[in-house]
Structures are given as C-alpha cells and as structure tokens.
Amino acid sequence: VKYIVLESLPQVLIEQGILQGTYLTSTNGRKFAAFQGVPYAQPPTGKFRFKDPAPPNPWVGIWNASEPGSVCLQNMEIPTYFKYTNDHYTSHIQTPIAGDEDCLFINIYTSKVYFPMNFIMKIFIHGGCFMHGHGSWYGPRHIMDRDLVYVTFNYRVGPLGFLSTEDEVVPGNMGLKDQSAALHWIQKNIAAFGGNPNSVTLAGNSAGAASVHFHYLSPMSKGTFHRGMSLSGSAFCPWVQMEEGKAKAEQLAAALGCTTKTTKEMVKCLRKRPAYKITQQIKNFKGWLHSPFSPFGFIVEKAGISPFLNKLPKDVILNGEAQNIPWIASVTTEEGLYPVADFITKKNLLQELEDRFQEIAPYLLHYNYTVVKDKKKEVADKIRSFYLKGKPISPETVKEIIQ
C-alpha cells in the first residue's frame, strides 16, 4: 500500500487507482479524513440489472472521493419516520423517486491515513426494510471522535435489489450480495486507510441488523468480520423474508407490459424498462398505507451458481453452520411504534383500522402470504383479543396498538 501526502487533501492508492478525499471535523473538533463515493462494484445497470455485483473497474487519474455517491434508486412515498433529504432527489410522474441505479459506493472515514495505524474497524449497514436508505444515513461526525476506521455503503434496495424469479434467471438477494461484495472490498483495501482487516465489527439496525445476522449465516461472507451487532432486527423477523417471489416478479412485469410466459423473456423485458418505472410499482404491493413495508426482501435461493443462502436461516443454525463469533442483538421497548407512527395521530385511520381490522391485519403484521386465506380472519381475531382484550382501536388504546 502506498500513501501519498498532500498539504491540502488526503490521497490513498488502492488496487483500482488513486483516491482523493477530504477532511471533516468530528462533533468534538477532531479532524479526520473522509473518502466517500468510492465504487466497490461495477454499476448494476443494463445487462447487470438483477445480477450479482461484478468487481469494480480501475480508473486512470485521480478519483474524486470528497462527496458520497448517488443513493440507490428508491420510492420516496414512504412513512414519515423514513423521511430524509439528500442531493440526489428527482421527481417523476405520479411517484417521487430518489437516487440512481449506479449506486454501489462505499464511504471510508479514518483518523489517520498516511502510515499504518492498525485501527479497529466499524462497519455500519443501513436499515430501511430493504426498501429505502443509504450509507450516508449514519454519518461519521459523532463516532469519529475516536481513533478508528468507520465504513458505510449503499446496497440495492426494493425490486432492483431483491426481485426473484425463484430460478436461475434471477435467484434473488442481489442487495445482500452487494453487501458481501462490500465486505470483501473492505478486507482487501482497508489497510490503505489505516484499518485493521483482522479486527472488524459489523453492525446495523433494522434491515441492517437483519443483514448482519444473515452474514453470520451465509458462506459468501465468511471471514470478512470478527464480531457483530444487530440493533432491532434479525434473520427471523417476519418482515425480512419475502414470500411468493416469482408471483411478485410476474405482477411487476405485467404492470410494465412485459410477458410472463417464461422468466427469461420476462427479465429480458424488465432490463429494458426504465429503472424508475420499476421502482414506481412498489405502491402496487402495499395492502394498506405503507404496509407491508417490505414486500421485497431476503429469499431462500432455489438456484444459481453462487447463492447467498440456499437454506432457511433456522436450518443453517440448527446444522451448526453459522459463524461462531461474538454477536450482540437488541430490541427497543415499544418498537411497534413503527409502523404505527404513520396512523396513530389520525382518527380517521384509527377508525378504519377498527372497522377493517380483519382485512388490514395481514398486511400490517406481515402474515398475508404465510397464513392460508380461510384462516386469516381467525388469526386477526386472536391477535386482537390477546392485545386489546375487547377494547376498540382508538386514541385511548394507543399503547395496546403499539404492543
């Protein structure tokens, strides 16, 4: 690894070429180097759409790594608790869309860069139900009060990251494979930024927390980290695992005028459709308001050359195949406020939930695809009886609704 010292801006030389970053200041006034918007894979566009991430291309000259790259394309019709602003917001007809397909970028923040420091590594995977979010959601200013190397990255979300035809055409889990590619990129390059590749802590929240757990289970990510933290999410959460992957792919294709006769023809057509139109279709997978909030997510791969995971998470664990390294997992009290926050202050929506609970509950509680049709109302009634104990859904029973 070569280190290039400039008076004004930090530079490092990695396998892909020279990076030029910038300096930022932490909350308590410490100066640190930032290398943002660094490609860790080829753009997943054109023929690479719906495919596993490919190794990044080298460049000639100096790569400007002073700003984060584009966020991955995502539908911005999202609950208020996910609202954020960024510099890559664009509006299209009917549905607002943010980001770009060319989005596989990584951000590295380091206390020192000009000589080997062997700092501990902290990688944070963003949440967002596998539907929204980006690495810059969790910035460096607080954590960089300490001596360490902190890394965040984008990964494909929504149908562009988690579509599955449940066969070899699009096995699925592209977003999780992006994450694994980023972890391998970090192992290969982090010494250039003063980081210790043998002391990596992998953390995340929500979908990021579930992702951390998945990396314990997937052989694809083995050896890329040494301890983990899952904050409010695991591979066992009902909203994490996608059901009816092929049916959802066919629904999406039909809405965009693509044939569904064969998966090969269907995907060939989808690769020619504008990416933002694919992302716009997410609204058609919502049963009530923004629920289910993760219609696309992890799926057990039934085919493919390099599956991220071709077994149920529980089977990996029961078979003793998970990585045996330290793991901390946590939840937050009354976490049911999400997604309740979207309707808890609106009396008309509370009344609608009261009147249509049997119909809405399968979407709100993520069992629409896992409970047979003639049992859904019975399950809804049992849930309501257990938590509300005969009380109506109203502003006075907010606590019970959150539970």
Low-confidence ranges of the chain (pLDDT < 70): 1-7, 77-95, 113-116
Residue 60 lies in a domain: yes
Residue 268 lies in a domain: no
pLDDT for the residue numbered 219: 97
The CB density around residue 320, as the number of other CB atoms within 10 Å, is: 7
Same domain, 371 and 309: no
333 is written with which tokens?
């009290």
Contact 323, 202 (CB under 8 A): no
Residue 45 lies in a domain: yes
The whole-angstrom separation of Cα 127 and Cα 231 is 10
pLDDT for the residue numbered 155: 99
48 Cβ neighbours under 8 A, 6+ residues apart = 42, 54
91 is written with which tokens?
């509006």
Residue of 70, 206, 218, 234 marked active site = 206
Residue 373 lies in a domain: yes
pLDDT for the residue numbered 394: 92
Residue with tokens 């009816």: 244
Task: Tell me which residue range forms the domain holding 125.
Answer: 2-240+301-330
274 is written with which tokens?
């504008």
Please give the helix or strand (H or E) that residue 54 lies within, else none: none
Same domain, 323 and 351: no
Report angle CA 315, 200, 8 to the nearest 5 degrees: 145
pLDDT for the residue numbered 300: 97
Same domain, 230 and 101: yes
Same domain, 232 and 347: no
pLDDT for the residue numbered 3: 47
pLDDT for the residue numbered 114: 62
Structural domains in the chain (count): 2
Nearest of 303, 286, 316 to residue 95 by alpha carbon: 286
Same domain, 321 and 392: no
| 26 is an active site residue | no
The enclosing domain of 234 has a CATH number of 3.40.50.1820
Q: What is the pTM of this model?
A: 0.92
Contact 212, 125 (CB under 8 A): yes
Same domain, 97 and 234: yes
* Per-residue pLDDT reduced to its tens digit, 20-49: 999 999 999 999 999 999 999 999 999 999
* Per-residue pLDDT reduced to its tens digit, 115-156: 567 888 999 999 999 999 999 999 999 999 999 999 999 999
